[in-house]
Structure 1
Amino acid sequence: MLLTITYKGKNTQELGFLLHKNPDRAQQFELAYGKAYVFYPEVSDESTTAALLLDIDPLDLARGKVGSRDGGLFDYVNDRPYAATSFLSTAMVRIFGTAMNGKCDKRQELADTPLDLTARLASLKDNGDTELAKQLFEPLGYRVTVSRTQLDEKFPEWGSSPYIDLTISGKVKLSELLNHIYVLIPVFDKQKHYYMAEDEIKKLLEHGEGWLADHPQKEKITRRYFTARKSYARRAMDILNENEGADTVEEEQETPEKEVFTPLNTQRMETVRDAVLASGAASVIDLGCGECRLTSLLLNEQQIRRVAACDVSVSVLEKAAQRLHLDRMQPARRNKLTLMQASLTYRDKRFEGYDCACVVEVIEHIEPMRIPAFERAVFEFAAPRTVILTTPNREYNANYEHMEENALRHGDHRFEWTREEFRAWTEHICEKFGYSCEISGIGTNDEKLGTPTQMAVFTKAG
């Protein structure tokens, strides 16, 4: 991934002061997903260019680190190390954060001055939407140039590349340029390399301050920035629209109170917790615990005397321990908890002896050929009295605007079941392992498509 910024005019070497990076030497930065380099391929009084180059190790991505899909050929053959994506946005904040804030102690007057700047981004993925770059950058006052090549000149029937090289030029403050690029890169790619939490709304609004609310494509930018997180996009748009009207005279009549929105993941965790309590369980194992959001809720319940959290990824467990503040957890709470690394497709005696097992948004990440092994590990060998399992409802995906037909909700999903397929699988489990089952939905109900999440509560017969 390569971003270059060129400053033309007088004393352009001062770009080094604005970026807080010395033009006389190259600098290297260690990132969680590879390395970044800042260097200046051109330095003169009339024109100076700074370059940010990301060298992402695809093997690091495939070994369970940031952006991994945990298995399969896609981990090793993909465009993630090469196309300009949210990896680049994250690196910009890390490396050019002070410049993005518009601060420069030595040249503050220059930081506050619009400059003749040109930025070039290599390999932005627009999937052939030739007007997208102009729609996004021209309203901000930039001159936009886009170049695209054929996939292979010898095979013209393959068509054009889904990637563009983008050049934008204009009279703009450096901080504005950097923030424009930071926000709009993910709008092209529509895929974040990290889990999006609610603080992502704050990030968008902070980096979009002063320009996003007035952008004619603000709704499109917001939708694509949050990809499938439609609730986050709606909340961001509500705030942007409120800010847009902040200087107008308020109407005398009272506006109706807005309905409080609860994110689907929060609804899911609270519903599973309630099902655990309703089962009467005193001990619970959270299989595929991830960030331990469910585990955290269960630890708060007096009814639950013992909680185990299991995940196949050691790094995920380490992050979960940090999230739970394990190092300073109160002794009574800490004594309830066990963290363990294990695979759900192998028999593990540590899974045994719990009243309830929770498998929340996990089964769809398992290769279909390994589902029978998962079934035996949970329902035959661990065999808790209650098993609570949630998984996406594939039919509901039609409600997500930017999902292609037959696409899966997440890049790491190996499959997603329709409601009929899920019911058939639960009936198979009950017949084979001696359970009864109740199925329900979580999230907004669509009369035709059902709810986004489907939940099964299995109860051991006898």
Structure 2
Amino acid sequence: MLLTISTTHRPATDLGYLLHKHPDRVQEFEQSFGTATVLYPEAGEERCTAALMLEVDPVRLARRVGRNAPDFSLAQYVNDRSYAASSLLGVALADVFGTARSGICKARPELAGRAIPLELSIPVLPCRGGAEIARRLFEPLGWQVDAEPIPLDEGFPEWGDSRYLRLTLTGEVRLADALGQLHVLLPVLDESKHYWQGLDEVDKLLRSGGEWLATHPDRTLITRRYLGRRGGLTRIALARLAELDGAAEEGSDPEAAEEEARQPEERRVPLNRQRHDAVLRAIADLGARSVIDLGCGPGQLLDRLLRTPGIERVAGCDVSARSLQYAARRLRVDRMTERQAGRLELFQGALTYEDPRFAGYDVAVLMEVVEHVDPPRLAALERVVFGAARPGAVVVTTPNREYNVLYEGLDGLRHPDHRFEWDRAEFAAWCERIAAAYGYAVERHGVGEVDQTYGAPTQLAIFTREERADD
């Protein structure tokens, strides 16, 4: 199996820093099913290419999976795995480029955080559905897709095409995002995995898919294929995408509405929708004319704010450039009139650093944001939002950890990127401390169907600034 990653970013050899693999070395990495090798066919200032080659040992693979393998037969030894990219390559990619996939690069931190020109090439890729499926999956992620079907036999064109493609992806994409997308979509295209799938696969999917999967127009197809069309796992994954990332479109696949395993009413009104409704009611009650969504993600709340009468100015901020691109696409910024565009501002920023663009709004919204912040950095966010930006009101929502026991298949936190989750007492204590420290009054509510023992699934707090002499 072969994957090449090329860039024309200058100096192109920075690719070695991003991948944490030196261009002058050939490195081998033992896998449980073979050997992965990383080398650089070219490494110049103008163009650099890294190649990941995976040599599969069918005997080692068969001994590893044993009788629990889905294809315990001669097919374990006689198949296309030595040549065609599959979930084996995805696993090797995640292992060999694990640090790069996380977006960490101490030598080039600014480069790791931004999009660069990339070309990814896989010469033999099994794809159920052909070139059209490859385009459907990769084009919404910003790639230009060249998917060339491979004929069954070039000497007999009348036999038609095989189920394999030569795939080349070109575009300006953050390298960590590109690797994460490949890790998820390789087994999706092949629609096959070499190992048994359980509940932990849902967490793997969410870790690798993140926000791009939640906003992908074919997220249901991707989720079903990735999870081997196992209905229970698919429902759990789609529910967590809708509830956790706030990115599910209204009117999407009905399975995505099954957010709460023990809440039949919320299968008709998803918790994500209820949370947005609650935040919008709070904004209306506050009489806000200007609102900033801090951590706006793909812009679902911004869309509804722009359609709310009386709100004259709307801003969205997020640390992720990709999320802001999705938000601009959702809001159809390129089609806005000059007057409509004048009401909206989208910008990239980190909530742990003071930024004058955060200030001057009647209401700031932190919807499902605080739990994504490392606890040692939470104090910085508090100072930035409540101390420096100091809006007239702040609306905060966050999960109620106590309620997690009611989620089917959930073991631990609701999302792999959550750094913590508060129970009701912890959230109340945080709210009272913030209100006292920064001169706000606070009231708390629950969002979603209330359980007598565990409360509501989402906690909501409305902070209103108390006028002081120094204001």
Q: What's the TM-score bracket when you normalise by the shorter of the two chains?
A: 0.5 to 0.7
Alpha-carbon deviation of 1:457? 0.6
Gap change, CA 1:450 and 1:262, over 3 Å in 2: same
2:408 aligns to what SS in structure 1? Answer: coil
Partner of 1:63: 103
Aligned residue among 332, 344, 347 for 2:351: 344
Does residue 262 (structure 1) correspond to residue 262 (structure 2)? The answer is: no
Q: Distance in 1 between matches of 2:439 and 2:104?
A: 36
Distance 1:109 1:381 in 2: 62
Q: Deviations over 1:226-285 (max 9, x none)?
A: 4746999x954999xxxxxxxxxxxxxxxxxx9871222222122212211221010111
Bigger radius of gyration among the two: 1
In structure 2, C-alpha distance between the alignment counterparts of 1:177 and 1:335, rounded to whole Å: 42
Aligned to 2:84: 51
Would you say the 8 A contact 2:223–2:237 is kept in 1? no
Report the number of matched residues.
318
Unaligned runs of 5+ in 2: 3-40, 42-49, 59-76, 113-121, 134-148, 152-156, 164-187, 259-264
Q: 1:35 to 1:459 in 2, by over 3 A?
A: farther
Q: Deviations over 1:58-97 (max 9, x none)?
A: 34422289xxxxx9xxx9xxxxxxxxxxxxxxx9x98614
CA RMSD of aligned residues (A): 4.7
| Structure 1 residue 186 displacement after superposition | 7.4
The structure 1 residue matched to 2:409, chosen from 388, 402, 410, is 402
Q: Secondary structure at the match of 1:424?
A: helix
Corresponding position of 1:96:
127
* Alignment equivalent of 2:437, drawn from 432, 437, 451: 432
Of residues 205, 209, 221 in structure 2, which corresponds to 1:203?
221
Shift of the 319–95 alpha-carbon distance from structure 1 to 2, 3 Å rule, reads farther
Q: Distance in 1 between matches of 2:195 and 2:131?
A: 12
Q: Secondary structure at the match of 1:303?
A: coil
Map of 1:293 onto structure 2:
300
Which of 420, 423, 426 is the aligned partner of 2:425? 420
Q: Which amino acid aligns with 2:462?
A: V
User: Distance between the aligned counterparts of 1:369 and 1:206, measured in 2?
Assistant: 37
Question: Following the alignment from structure 2 to structure 1, what is the Cα–Cα distance between the partners of residues 271 and 240?
Answer: 12
- Residue 222 of structure 1 deviates from its aligned partner by 4.0
Q: Please name the residue that 1:7 is paired with.
A: none
Say if 1:323 and 1:99 are closer, same or farther in 2 by CA, change over 3 A: same
SS at match of 1:51: coil
User: Partners of 2:450 and 2:195 in 1: how far apart?
Assistant: 32
1:236–1:108 distance in 2 versus 1, CA, 3 Å: farther
Offset of residue 220 of structure 1: 3.9
By how many angstroms is 1:207 displaced?
Answer: 5.7
The letter of the residue matching 1:282 is: R
Q: Using the TM superposition, give the Cα deviation of residue 337 of structure 1 relative to its aligned residue in structure 2, in angstroms.
A: 0.7
Check conservation: 1:388, 1:457, Cα contact below 8 A: yes
> Which residue of structure 1 aligns with residue 372 of structure 2?
365
The aligned amino acid for 1:290 is: G
The Cα shift of 1:348 comes to 1.7
AA at the equivalent of 1:190: V
Which amino acid in 1 is paired with 2:443? E
User: What TM-score comes out, normalization by structure 1 length?
Assistant: 0.57
Q: Aligned AA for 1:385?
A: G
Correspondences of 1:9-408 after superposition (within 5 Å)? 49=80, 50-52=83-85, 53-54=89-90, 55-56=93-94, 57-63=97-103, 96-99=127-130, 107=159, 178-179=190-191, 181=193, 189-191=201-203, 192=205, 193-194=208-209, 195=211, 197=214, 202-203=220-221, 220-223=232-235, 225-226=237-238, 228=240, 235-236=254-255, 261-404=268-411, 407-408=412-413
Q: Percent identity?
A: 36
The range that moved more, 442-451 or 281-290, is 442-451
**Could you tell me how far 1:448 is from its partner in structure 2?**
0.9
Shift of 1:439: 0.7
CA contact (8 A) 2:403 2:455 kept: yes
For 1:334, the aligned partner's letter is: A
